[in-house]
Amino acid sequence: MPTETDTALEGLWFAAIVLGLVEGLTEFIPVSSTGHLVLVADFFRMPTPPGHVFEVVIQLGAILAVCVIYWRRLFGKAFAFFKDAGARRFIYAILAAFAPAVALGLLAGDFAKEHFFSPAVIAGALIAGGIVILVIEGRHPPVKFAEAEAIDPLTALKIGAIQCLAFVPGVSRSGATIVGARLMGVGPAPAAEFSFFVAIPTMIGAASYDLYKAQGAIDSGGALMIAIGFVVSFVSALLIIKPFLAFVTRRGLVPFAWYRIALGALILILLAVGLGPAARG
């Protein structure tokens, strides 16, 4: 007969696997992986470690998937840094896009987690972001950069500033980066790839900071959840990145915009009729 401890452990495994899948499948599409994690955990009452550290750290699994898929390009640029001006420009561009998130994260990261990680805020951000995507995609901005490596550091800095909107869950880090890149004249596929590359230092920095602040607060159950979620998010992201790029190349971002609007509206309706987690206490 299963004991109470066994049941609790099974609950942690189940939650970690489900949330790891959600993270891996949504990290690189413009629908907000953090927003989805918070919504799934809240609506289905899944246990997660305090302080939203789980939701941030398991994103490293998805980031590892990017490193695996693009390792030749990434290592090629790194090893060519001192002898290739194009490689230096690419690395400087990634760092420039990463810089605004560092500054804002140190200044307001804790404030964002305290005030914005709620279903109502996420629903509003999903809808607003969906409308923005529809507007941008409807404009068909001219393409100035046909490759992610062609983006210059100043343009990347502007994209990074727009990425900071993703401190509000529901906005979507990848979505803000892709839309920002499209506004700056980057083609759809290279905009998506650039969002992948910027995610590497951004999420490593965010996860490291959260782990540092949460040291001592994560028990063995929380550590187990993070480990399982990390592995599951890695595998699921590994499977979704290439199909996502192919889809964006063919269809653009409009289908994701309508999905965001529909999901945001559904969440607001559920909250309004008393079926949301906030109403249940």
Residue 1 in any domain: the answer is no
**Residue 51, pLDDT score:** 59
Give how far Cα 144 sits from Cα of 73, 162, 163, 190, Å.
21, 18, 20, 11
In a domain, residue 6? The reply is no
- Closest alpha carbon to 148 in 238, 245, 24: 245
Q: Does residue 4 carry a pLDDT above 70?
A: no
Give whichever of 44-53, 55-64, 65-74, 200-209 has the largest mean pLDDT.
Answer: 65-74
Q: What is the mean pLDDT of the chain?
A: 88
Is 41 in contact with 15 (CB distance < 8 Å)? yes
Residue range of the domain that includes 222: 15-280
Residue 8 lies in a domain: no
pLDDT exceeds 60 at position 3:
no
Residue 4 lies in a domain: no
Q: Is residue 9 part of a domain?
A: no
Instruction: Give the number of domains in the chain.
Output: 1
Whether the per-residue pLDDT at 120 is higher than 60: the answer is: yes
Helices (H), 145-253: 153-163, 173-183, 188-214, 220-251
7 part of a folded domain = no
- Per-position DSSP letters for 170-192, written without gaps between them: TS-HHHHHHHHHHHTTB-HHHHH
Q: Please check whether residue 2 lies inside any domain of the structure.
A: no
pLDDT at 281: 39
Question: What is the C-alpha separation between 232 and 22, in angstroms, rounded?
Answer: 9
- Please indicate, yes or no, if residue 252 is contained in any of the structural domains: yes
Q: Which residue has the tokens 């939650």?
A: 15
**What's the rounded Cα separation, in Å, for the pair 197 and 72?**
13
pLDDT at 249: 83
pTM of the entire predicted model: 0.87
pLDDT for 50: 64
**Once rounded to an integer, what is the mean pLDDT over residues 257-265?**
97
Read off the pLDDT of each residue in 193-200 and give the average, rounded to a whole number. Answer: 93
Mean pLDDT lowest among 1-5, 63-67, 248-252? 1-5
Half-sphere exposure of 184 (CA within 13 A, CB side): 29
